[in-house]
Structure 1
Amino acid sequence: MPLLSVEDIHTYYGESHILEGVSLSVDRGEVVALIGRNGVGKTTTLRSVLGLTAPREGTVRFDGVDITGRPTNEIARRGVGWIPEERRVFSQLTVAENIRIATPTDADTAAALELAYDTFPALAERPTAKAGALSGGQQQMLAIARGLVGDNDLLLVDEPSEGLAPQIVADVAAALADVARETTLLLVEQNLPLAMDLADRFYLLDNGRVVADGEATPAVTDDEEIRGYLSA
């Protein structure tokens, strides 16, 4: 049974029909990439899973339970974490405080901090720095660390490389690969080589529909049909 199963969902913003029958699945322990141009429905798919923009039709199941349209806080409590494109760290709090807030109340805070710092040594060097004073790459690392210590079974990661310098992208990619050893990921990523490097499988979206899917391999980056969808 897949950890996440999305079946023929139709999601709207007002009267705009954004997702037109999207279906996908994510098995426990997998990294699955959602790829496609801007505006084709990738982030809306994540929002539909989280209940932030509930589908009008179709079904979302998490760990066998129908969570379609349930409150976002309930979905989060079930073990679905979200790392949004905007990162949304608490800028006036320190690195350590950001991590502590994301740690479940019944969890070992010291162990959570150790996990975050082991995964992201750059954060370990600045535990008392205000999050707002970090570089873009460090803020992204902090956002991922918050998702990691949240004891989530599934992490939805939206455009982790967006706006980052190439070297920082490499650092974030390495950190996500470490995270993937512990947590199942559904990853939205515009950087096709990065997505294929991290993912086990992919789904290609275009105009609110899945138009291709398959195994994530380096050869996908050279597939003319797929590149055509990404550049159209």
Structure 2
Amino acid sequence: MTLLELEGVHTYYGESHVLQGVDLSVEEGEIVALIGRNGVGKTTTLRSILQLTPPREGTVLFAGEDITGQRTHDVARKGIGWVPEERRMFGYLTVEENVRVSVPPDGDFEALREYVFDLFPALERFREKEARNLSGGQQQMLAIARGMVGNNDLLLVDEPSEGLAPMIVDQVVEALRAVSAETTVVLVEQNFPLAMDLADRFYLLDHGTVVESGSTEGVTADDERIRRYLSA
């Protein structure tokens, strides 16, 4: 089933025309990577899906429903979660409190807490520590954990590996694999090999449009159709 579809999406920041007719679709159960150089519209695509930066033209469909122009909190309630690049957690709340406030009212907090602590043992060790005092890697784990406990059908994840040590990146990747067993994922990731390893399909953006797409199987940065859009 097609869970998410963008049709001819044009998104602006003021007079700056960032997305210029983006078309893409995501099937239920997939991990789909958005790749490309910095500034080509990857994060703006996520913001357009969430209606944080609503498209001026085009349509965003989620589970067959047109959500274009709806309020962001209403879109989130439909089952779309977000792990932003900036992490955006509650700095003066503890790890456990950050998880608790992310669980829906009808969610089983105890079970969900143990689920994310099993995936991220470091978070359990620091469950009483305020989020502002965590390392960058620990904050990224917490940001992903918050997205995981929200009972989302779709999780949008922006640059999860940025600035993290390789060992922490490995833990984040394994967590996203675990998430994808139950939740469809759209991933923005600058680390090209990681994106190709983790995702089922990819969309390559350049100047606000999709220029290449397909299965990630066997795709490398040496492919001519990829390399010319990723090189500086």
TM-score tier by shorter-chain length is over 0.9
Runs of 5+ consecutive residues of structure 2 not aligned to the other structure? none
Pairwise CA distance, 1:218: 4.1
2:73 is matched with which residue? 73
1: CA distance between counterparts of 2:216 and 2:44?
22
**Counterpart Cα distance in 2 of 1:8 and 1:174:** 34
Cα distance, 1:136–1:218 mapped onto 2, change above 3 Å:
farther
Shift >3 Å, 4+ stretches? none
Q: Which residue of 1 aligns with 2:204?
A: 204
Indicate the residue corresponding to 2:46 in structure 1. 46
1:104–1:151 Cα contact (<8 Å) kept: yes
- Between the aligned partners of 2:76 and 2:94, the Cα distance in structure 1 is 24
What is the DSSP-based 3-state SS (H/G/I as helix, E as strand, rest coil) of the residue aligned with 2:96? helix
Q: Which moved further from structure 2: 173-182 or 184-193?
A: 173-182
After alignment, is 176-185 or 138-147 more displaced? 176-185
Stretch of structure 1 that moved more, 174-183 or 61-70: 174-183
Whole-Å separation in 1 of the counterparts to 2:130 and 2:36: 34
Give the letter aligned to residue 134 of structure 1.
L
Alignment of 1:36 with 2:36, yes or no, is yes
**What residue number does 1:177 align with?**
177
Structure 1 segment 52-67 matched on structure 2, within 5 A: 52-67=52-67
Deviation (angstroms), 1:105: 1.0
Given that 2:212 and 2:225 are in contact with CA atoms closer than 8 Å, whether structure 1 keeps it comes out as no
Give me the CA root mean square deviation. Answer: 1.0
Deviates more, 1:165-174 or 1:41-50: 165-174
Contact 2:9-2:58 at 8 Å conserved across structures = yes
State the Cα distance separating 1:79 from its structure 2 match. 0.1
For structure 1, the 5+ residue unaligned runs are none
TM-score, length-normalised on structure 2?
A: 0.97
Aligned residue in 2 for 1:139: 139
Is the 1:193–1:218 contact (alpha carbons within 8 Å) kept by the matching residues of 2? no
- The letter of the residue matching 1:27 is E
Amino acid corresponding to residue 151 of structure 2 in structure 1: D
Q: For residue 194 of structure 1, what is the aligned residue in structure 2?
A: 194
Q: What's the TM-score once normalised by structure 1's chain length?
A: 0.97
